[in-house]
Amino acid sequence: MTEGNFVDYVKMHVSSGNGGKGSAHLHREKYIMKGGPDGGDGGRGGHVILRGNSNLWTLIHLKFKRHFKAGHGSHGSSGRSTGADGEDIYVDVPLGTVVRDSESDTILFEITEEGEEIIVVKGGMGGRGNWHFKNSVNQTPRYAQPGIPLEELDITLELKVLADVGLVGFPNAGKSTLLSVLTSAKPKIADYEFTTLKPNLGIVEYRDFQSFVMADIPGIIEGAAEGKGLGYYFLRHIERNSILLFLIPADAKDIVKQYEILEDELRRYNPEMLDKERFVVVSKSDMLDDELKSEIAAILDKDLDANYMFISSVAQQGLIELKDTLWKMLN
C-alpha cells in the first residue's frame, strides 16, 4: 500500500429514502357494489448501510464520492398491493473504520468484522393503506397514511489500521526499510526525517503459507502527543495493533532513553497502549562489531524493561529469528 493511495479520513453526506404513501383506493368491479377500501401500503424507503470488507485497506474509494442517497419507497396501489421498497445503498469500508457524527463528533459505531452491516440512516416506513382503517363504524375510510420522511446525516469515517504488528520509532530508525525487506510493500525510503508521511501496510509471509500484517507508522518525535511533528495524527493507527515493535537504531546515543521517550509518548496519548505486547529491535546492527554489541546488550539487559533483538534489514541479519519471535507472540 503506497502512501499516496492511503486515505484514512473521509467526510460524507448520507440520505435514506422516503417511505411510499399508502393508497386510499376503493374497490371497483363490475357486478360488485360497494367493494370497500382496498388501498395497499407504501413501500419502505431505502437504507444506507455500511459493510465491512476485509479486502479494503484504505478509504480511497470514497475520496471523490461524498454523497450517498438511497431510493424512495413506491406508493401503495389498489388490490391491497404494497409498493416496492426503495433501493438500499451499501458502502463497503475497511475493517477498523470508526463512524462519527460530523456535527457532534460523537462516535456512532465501529466496523471491525468481515461482512458486518450497520444501518447509518434508516429509510422511512411506508404509510398504511385505507383497508387497515375500516371497522364497523367507519366502513369506507377515504384516507391513508403518508410515508415517513427520509433521514439525512453528515458523517466522518476514520480508519484505524487493523494490523498484527505496528512499527514504532523515531524518524530514520529503519522502519520503512524493515517493512520493504519483510514484505512486498514498497514504501519511500530516503535519508531524511519524515520520509513516511502515511502509514504503509505489508503482509509478512511466514512458514506453511501463513502470514501476518505489519504496519509502518510515520515517525514519532518527542512531543508528538502534544501535536508536534506527524506522529500525533497517526498514533491512532497503533491503537488496533496486537504487538508494538519498537525500532531503535544501533547508532542512537542512548537506546534505553529513546525507548523510554517513545513509551512516554504512547502513554500520554493513550495509556491503554502500554497494555499491548511490546518488543524492541535494535536496527542497523551490522555497523556493530561483536565487542560493541556485547557492551550494548549488557546495558539493555540491565536497564531495558522489554525483550529485545539485534537485526540489520540491509545485511539481512536476524530477520528469520524476528519473524519467528513475532509469530510466537501473535499465537
To the question of whether residue 285 is assigned a binding role by annotation, the answer is yes
The answer to the question of whether 217 is labelled as a binding residue is yes
* Radius of gyration from C-alpha coordinates of the chain: 29
Determine whether the annotation assigns residue 34 to a binding site: no
Does 208 count as an annotated binding residue?
A: no
Has 161 been labeled as part of a binding site?
Answer: no
Query: What are the angstrom distances between the C-alpha of 52 and each of 152, 155, 162, 193, 231?
Result: 21, 16, 12, 35, 27
CA distances from 239 to 8, 106, 215, 272 (A): 14, 18, 12, 8
Q: Is 211 annotated as a binding residue?
A: no
- Does 175 carry a binding-site annotation? yes
| CA of residue 241 relative to chain centroid, distance | 12
> Each residue of 212-250: b (16+ CB within 10 Å) or e?
bbbbbbbbbbeebbeeebbbbebbbbbbbbbbbbbbbbb
Residue 198 in marked binding region? yes
314 is in an annotated binding site: yes
Cell of 272: 491503554
Q: Distance between alpha carbon 267 and the CA centroid of its chain, in Å? A: 22
Q: How many CB atoms lie within 10 A of CB 172?
A: 19
Check whether 177 is labelled as a binding-site residue.
no
Instruction: Look up residue 316 and give its amino acid.
Output: Q
283 belongs to an annotated ligand binding site: yes
219 is in an annotated binding site: yes
Q: Is 170 marked within a binding site?
A: yes
196 annotated to a ligand binding site = yes
CA distance 297 to 300: 5
Q: Is 64 annotated as a binding residue?
A: no
62 annotated ligand-binding residue: no
- The SS3 of residue 298 is helix
> Per the annotation, does 173 bind a ligand?
yes
Does the annotation flag 188 for ligand binding? no
Which cell numbers in the block locate residue 280?
Answer: 524492541
187 among the known binding-site residues? no
Q: What strands lie across the sheet with 152-159, from one edge to the other?
A: 67-69, 9-15, 152-159, 97-101, 107-111
Confirm if 17 and 73 have CB atoms less than 8 A apart. yes
User: Which pairs from 260-267 meet CB under 8 Å and 24+ separation?
Assistant: 261/222, 262/168, 262/169, 262/170, 262/220, 265/220, 265/222, 265/223, 265/224, 265/225, 265/231, 265/235, 266/168, 266/235, 266/238
Q: Is 69 annotated as a binding residue?
A: no
Binding-site sequence positions for Mg(2+): 176, 196
Binding-site sequence positions: 169-176, 194-198, 216-219, 283-286, 312-314
Binding-site sequence positions for GTP: 169-176, 194-198, 216-219, 283-286, 312-314
